[in-house]
Amino acid sequence: MTIPHTAYSFEGIGLSDHIHEILDRLLESITEVMRKGLCESEVHTNLAVDAAAFALLGMIQRTATIWTPNGYSRSLNRSHRQILEIYKNSLSASVQVPA
C-alpha cells in the first residue's frame, strides 16, 4: 500500500518526493508490524491490516499537525496517549470483532 503522491503537496519547496518517500516507508513499517501481530495472534484475526496501518499513520500525522504549529509547546502526553490506547485496544486479539 502506498500513499497517493498528490496527498502531500510540497512541490513549491521541493519536499514532495522526500516527504512521500518517508511516509511510504513509515506506512510499510507500520503494516509490517501489524502483519507480525496478526501472525503472532496479538491482533484479531479479521483485522484489515492495510486499513488499520493507514488509520494509525493518519493519527500520527494529525498529532504532528496539531503539535508543530504550536511550537511543540502543547503536551502530547495525556490526550494522545489515551487516543493511542483506544486504538491499541481496538486491535487486540482479546476484542471480539464481528466478521
pLDDT in tens, 17-75: 777 788 889 999 999 999 999 999 888 888 899 999 998 888 887 777 776 666 656 66
Query: Does a structural domain hold residue 15?
Result: yes
How big is the chain by its Cα radius of gyration, in Å?
Answer: 16
Using a 10 angstrom Cβ sphere, with 0-12 exposed, 13-18 middle and 19 or more buried, the burial of residue 67 is middle
Enclosing domain of residue 38: 5-91
Query: Does a structural domain hold residue 96?
Result: no
Query: Does a structural domain hold residue 37?
Result: yes
* 0.75 surpassed by pTM: no
Using a 10 angstrom Cβ sphere, with 0-12 exposed, 13-18 middle and 19 or more buried, the burial of residue 40 is exposed
Cell reading at 63: 498529532
Question: What's the total number of domains in the chain?
Answer: 1
Q: What is the mean pLDDT of residues 73-91?
A: 74
